[in-house]
Each structure stands twice: as structure tokens, then as C-alpha cells.
Chains A and B, each alone.
Chain A
Amino acid sequence: MGLLFVESLPGPRVFKCKFCRVDSASPDAIVSKEFRGRYGRAYLFDSVFGHFNYTHLYSCLHVNGVNVASRVNVSLGPNEDRKLMTGLHTVNDIYCSCCQRLLGWRYEKAYNKDQKYKEGKYILEKNMMLKEGW
């Protein structure tokens, strides 16, 4: 295998992949905790988040005004149409880029009007994650 490039999130609180322990997502990006994945409880994350309330900041944020990507070290699968409990959606499965395990999925498109808010956001299953920094 090539040399994996492992990124890290600012923290101090991060969600990590339970199996290979690389950073996956930041709790600051959580939109809802009441979702259900394939295997149980899951959190809905936004795709980016502003990082302004922490003292330890990346100065690139000040300079460029960009948001920090809320998920790192993940790969996306191809678009798939799936019928979920809430209706038909186009989703991409999310894999940990290091150990390739399935962590959740991302909503590419929602076909019901009231589900549109999910587009671009993603779900990570609670029992695939471990918490650090709490």
C-alpha cells in the first residue's frame, strides 16, 4: 500500500475510527443526535463548520476565512439510490480511508421536500466511533 496521508482535526474533542484510531469527525459539526444508521444510533454531521470559538485556532482561518472540513480520513463510495425510512435518497457510503471499514453514509440528494436539509450532510454510526478528549 502507498503511504497513507493521515490528517487530524483541531480538537480537543474528536471522534475517531474505533478500529484504526485515526480522526474522523469533529463534534462541533453535529446537527442531530437522533438518527439511526444500519447498526443503531448515528449522528448527523454538517460538512463544514466554523471554528471561531476556540482559542487554539489555525491562522489560515483568519487569513482566508474558510471553514474547516469537519470530516477527515474518509473516502466516499459511488452514488447509490437507496430507500431509507424517510424516503428515497441518493447516498454515498463513507469508508475510513485507513482501514476501509464502513462508517456511515453521506446524503447526496433527497427526493422529498422535507428531507432536503440533509443534502451534503453525513451520518456516522455511533458504534463505529470512539470519543476522545471529552
Chain B
Amino acid sequence: MGGFEDDEPPAKRARASSVESANLTDCFSFSKSANPLGSTMARPLPSQGKEVMVGSKGVIKREEFVRIITKALYSLGYEKTGAVLEEESGITLHSPMVNLFRKQVIDGHWDNAVATLNKIGLVDENVVKSAAFLILEQKFFELLRNDNAMGAMKTLRSEITPLGVNRKRVHELSSYIISYSPQQLFLGFSKLGIDSSNSRLKLLEELQKVLPPTVMVPERRLENLVEQALTVQRDACYFHNSIDGLSLYIDHHCGKDQIPSRTLQVEEDGELLLKHTLSGHGNPVMMVAWSPDDRQLLTCGVEEVIRRWDVESGKCIHIYEKPGLGIISCAWFPDGKQILSGLTDQNFCIWDLDGKEVDSWKAQRQSKTFDFAVAKDGKLIISMHRDSAILLLDRETKQETLIEEDSTITSFSLSEDGDFLLVNLTSEEIHLWNVRNGPIRVNRYSGHKRNRFVIRSCFGGSEQAFIASGSEDSQVYIWHRATGDLIETLPGHSGTVNCVSWNPANPHMLASGSDDHTIRIWGVKKPSLKRKDVGSSSSNGIHANGNAHANGFVHQCNGNSSK
């Protein structure tokens, strides 16, 4: 009965005989996937096997391992179990001297605590002194708080100062005695907190940091180790695109099947989901923008007016215009309360929802590309400056920064966190720029085809770890954002794919619009077992990122109408 074959990570190992530990029995799930520490772990029985090392690689010391488990049990609140484990394994969490020390600190028996400190058997004298300093400092403050200034001074002089450490702090402490006022004391006690038992626990934590970990096991050590392992797995997951969190039972590994790769639905000209037809514009509609709450739509006619629509009713709520001038682009502010627009005379104009003009300024724009973006906090406005340059305007500091590219820019889009800009170029490359720190170009993506049209690209997937783009070869292209590798090309459309939109709520869904007059919805090959979206989120999801998506659709309509 010696060695069980088991595959789960060591953190959840437990003895078969620990009856009390109800929550530890789930360790018995045998999963078949690879375990970083190997597949066989010897599990010695209580009375046998005092092997010093555990784990297949023999790098884990039994004593350390049991102690951090015991510590985790205590901090989770399972006092009884912790005690049982200490007894059964014969490995105590803290030596008796250390236990005494801890008790003395909690009870406030400072002198005893310092005495015990010296008996613990610490090798490094500096450590002893630092720990003693902390204890005596606490004693000092508590004496002061209890209005015992004489006692405090005595402590400072005869006990703290002779230690010969941390002179600066000693001076600070002496100043507390001199300038003695309740408020200052209170401030001086900021690290003590209001109630002394709380502050003593904090002292214990501080002591834990000073004393070597073999003496007092650091707080949350086991949790930290597990988190480290999870972080390594997450970072190594190339195709990571899931909505669920990481499980401890199996190593996390997303396969390529997490990326949308098959067509779920093909819609022609919105016949299936046609909700409303919004009429009212006199000129072709060049730009469409969904409000941040997905309930309203802004549409902009070419050199005409901006109309705001309510999506539910299909009614036009407001018209924004500037007499004598035409508007060529529009965007929402992230708070949904203001609207930004670009005018034909190269001015920008900001309205609030009622139509009151809030701000306007002239920009030197010499480009016909009307792409716009407002960064999350509403303070950064991103627009075209020249054929090969993008202007970043900080509204507060009035500072203008330029992103200079080496070929002509056809379109751009902003990431959800407002920190990155994806720029499409005529040279058939897509460049990723960091606009928060920089601007600096961080990556390039290529492989798709662009010759005649405006092709749009977007961020997508879990944590926006992927880039998707349309292409003139009728395929959708998907790249891995961090490495720039092309991971998928999706055939299916029979015409240029003008734009793509990755569902911000569902990382497994992608929509694309094409010259073949269809919109395709792409999903993953296997249906996901657990879908967190609610009800009709599929249609909402596409619409939520409808900016790029609807633009493409609208562009098709525009093309038709101009013929």
C-alpha cells in the first residue's frame, strides 16, 4: 500500500487517514493530464517512511512541506486539523520556544519576549537586535499611550538605544516624548492602529518578516507557491482564450481550439436580425458608433449631421449639427455623456447629449481618413494628422504627440483599456503602438492582403490577447498579440472581408463583414460546456463592439448607394 499513483499537484496532497479534513478529500480526484512534478508520488503511511525528501524530483523537504501545510491550515481557520497534523507528523509548526515567544508578544509581556528571543537560537545577531527593536518599540508606544511618559523614556534610554540599531528611528521616537500631544501620538501610532490587540498581531507579522523563515513560517507561504505555479502556467499558455479561471486540478493549457475557427452563422443583409431601419439621413452614412451602454447609436452622414438613435425603439432622439459645416466623424466619450465630432473645416467639436457645445478647437488635419478614438478617461483624443501620422491630443495638458508611421495609414482602433492602438497601413502591415507609455511601436502583424480597400482590424479574445483583421483574400486573419505569430486564417467568405469585430463579452465569438454582402459569426469548434453569457447576449455582444463591425456593414451600404 505504499505508493499511490496520483496526478494532482502536491499542494493538495493529504493523508488517507485524516478524517477531520473534509475539504482535503477532493485531493482524490485522479486527473490524467501531465503533472509538472511527475506522476508517481510515494505516500508514506503514518508510522513508516521518514524520508526526508518528498516529490518525484526529490527537491521538496518533508519537514518544510508539512510545516507550510500546517501554517496554511491554521490561517484558513482549521485549528483542530492543524493541531492533529502537527501531532501526527511529529513536525511542529513552531518550536516550543517560538510558541512561547509568540504568546508573550500577544500578551504584551515585553521583557519576557525579549528574553525568549535570545533563547530561540538565532545565529545572526543583527536579526536578534532588529527583532528586539521592534518589540521594544511596541512597548514604547504602548507606554506612551497609557500616559506613562517616564516609563517610555526609560525604555528608550536603557533598552532601545543600547541596541545600537536604527538610530534614525530612535531620534524619531525621542521626539515623540518631547512633543507630547494626543493628536501627534495618534499620528505616531498610525502603524499601531486603534486597538492594541490588532497592533500586536501586526507586530507579529513584522517579526515574521525579520526572523528567518525556518523559525517562523511566513504567512500565506503555501498560497504564494500555488499562485506562482498558476502564473507560470498562465504565462506559458500561448492560446489562452478562456473565460473561466484557472483550476488547480489540471495544468492549464489552452489548445488552438479555443480560438474561433468555424462559422456558426451566416447572415445576409441583416434579414434574420433586422430590428429597425433607421432612416433620416440625407447623405450616405459613413460612421456608426455604439454608446458605451449599448443602448444608443450615433450615426454620421457624409458631411452632414450626426443623429443619435435609441436602439430599442429605433427613434432618432437628437440631431447634432453645425450650421454651414458638415460633419465627417463622430465618437462617444467613455462616460457616454459627451460626443466628439470632426468637421469639414478641420475643427473638432464636443457636444453634451443635449446638443450644447462644450468645446471646440482647430486641428491641423490633412487627411481624409476619419478614424477617431477617445481614450478611456476621456482625456486623450486620437485622430489622423497626416497620411502617415496620428495625433494624440491630451485635452488637459494640451500636449500633442505624434505617432509617425513609415507608410500611409488606412484605419486604426483602440484597445479596450485605452492603452494600445492598432494601426492599419497600406504596406499590408498592422502595427501595434503603446500610447500610454510612449508612444512606442511594440509589434507588427502581417500576412493579410490589402490593396484597394479600407480593411479594419481589432483586438479580441480573453484579455485582448489576439488581433483579428479582414483581408482582401476573403479570409479572416488572427494573430497572437504578444508574439506576432499568425495563428489562424479563416476561409469562408467569398469577397473581401472589410472588417472584424471580436465579441468583448464572449472570447469565443468573432464577427466579420464582407463584400459578399454577408456577415459571418465565427465560434470555436467544440461548443463550450459552460457559457456565462445571459440570454440574447449573442446579438448584444456583437453590437457592443459594433463600432468596427457596423462600420464595415455601413460601408457596404455606402458603396451600393453611390453606384
- A interface list, Cβ under 8 A from B: 1-8, 58-60, 63-64, 66, 73, 75, 97-98
A58 touches B388 (CB 8 A): yes
- A to B contact number (C-beta, < 8 Å): 55
State the Cβ distance, B37 to closest chain A Cβ, in Å: 52
Given A58-B386, A60-B388, A60-B404: A4 touches B426 (CB 8 Å cut-off): no
A3 to B514, CA, bound (A): 11
Chain B residues with CB under 8 Å of A1's CB are 453, 515, 556, 559-560
B389 is an interface residue with CB less than 8 A from chain A: yes
State the Cβ distance, A60 to closest chain B Cβ, in Å: 5
Chain B residues with CB under 8 Å of A6's CB are 368
- B interface list, Cβ under 8 A from A: 368, 386-389, 404-406, 408, 410, 426, 451-455, 496, 498, 515, 552, 555-556, 558-560
A75 to B426, CA, bound (A): 12
B387 touches A98 (CB 8 A): no
- B409 to A, closest residue via Cβ: A5
B408 touches A7 (CB 8 A): yes
The 7 closest A-B pairs by CB, nearest first: A2-B453, A97-B452, A1-B559, A3-B555, A2-B498, A3-B454, A5-B454
B496 touches A5 (CB 8 A): no
A97 to B454, CA, bound (A): 12
B515 touches A2 (CB 8 A): yes
A6 to B388, CA, bound (A): 14
A2 touches B555 (CB 8 A): yes
Chain B residues with CB under 8 Å of A98's CB are 452
Additional pairs, 15, CB under 8 Å, beyond known A63-B404, A75-B451, A98-B452 = A1-B515, A1-B556, A2-B552, A2-B555, A2-B556, A4-B452, A5-B452, A5-B453, A6-B368, A7-B408, A7-B426, A59-B386, A60-B389, A60-B405, A97-B451
- B513 to A, closest residue via Cβ: A2
State the Cβ distance, B80 to closest chain A Cβ, in Å: 70
A-B contact pairs, 12 of them (CB 8 A): A1-B556, A2-B455, A2-B515, A4-B452, A4-B453, A4-B454, A5-B452, A7-B408, A7-B426, A8-B387, A60-B388, A60-B389
- Please indicate which of the listed interface residues B389, B405, B452, B555 has the most CB atoms of chain A within 10 Å of its own CB: B452
A7 to B427, CA, bound (A): 12
State the Cβ distance, A62 to closest chain B Cβ, in Å: 10
A58 to B388, CA, bound (A): 9
A5 to B452, CA, bound (A): 6
Q: Indicate which residue in A4, A60, A73, A97 contacts B406 across the interface (CB closer than 8 Å).
A: A60
Chain B residues with CB under 8 Å of A66's CB are 406
State the Cβ distance, B384 to closest chain A Cβ, in Å: 12
Chain A residues with CB under 8 Å of B452's CB are 2, 4-5, 73, 75, 97-98
Chain B residues with CB under 8 Å of A75's CB are 451-452
A59 to B387, CA, bound (A): 11
Q: Indicate which residue in B386, B426, B496 contacts A2 across the interface (CB closer than 8 Å).
A: B496
Given A58-B388, A75-B452: A2 touches B559 (CB 8 Å cut-off): yes
B498 touches A3 (CB 8 A): yes
State the Cβ distance, B8 to closest chain A Cβ, in Å: 53
Given A75-B452, A97-B451: A5 touches B406 (CB 8 Å cut-off): no
A43 to B386, CA, bound (A): 30
Chain A residues with CB under 8 Å of B555's CB are 2-3
Chain A residues with CB under 8 Å of B453's CB are 1-5
- A76 to B, closest residue via Cβ: B451
Q: Indicate which residue in B387, B406, B455 contacts A7 across the interface (CB closer than 8 Å).
A: B387
- B406 to A, closest residue via Cβ: A64
A3 to B472, CA, bound (A): 12
A64 to B402, CA, bound (A): 14
Chain A residues with CB under 8 Å of B406's CB are 60, 64, 66
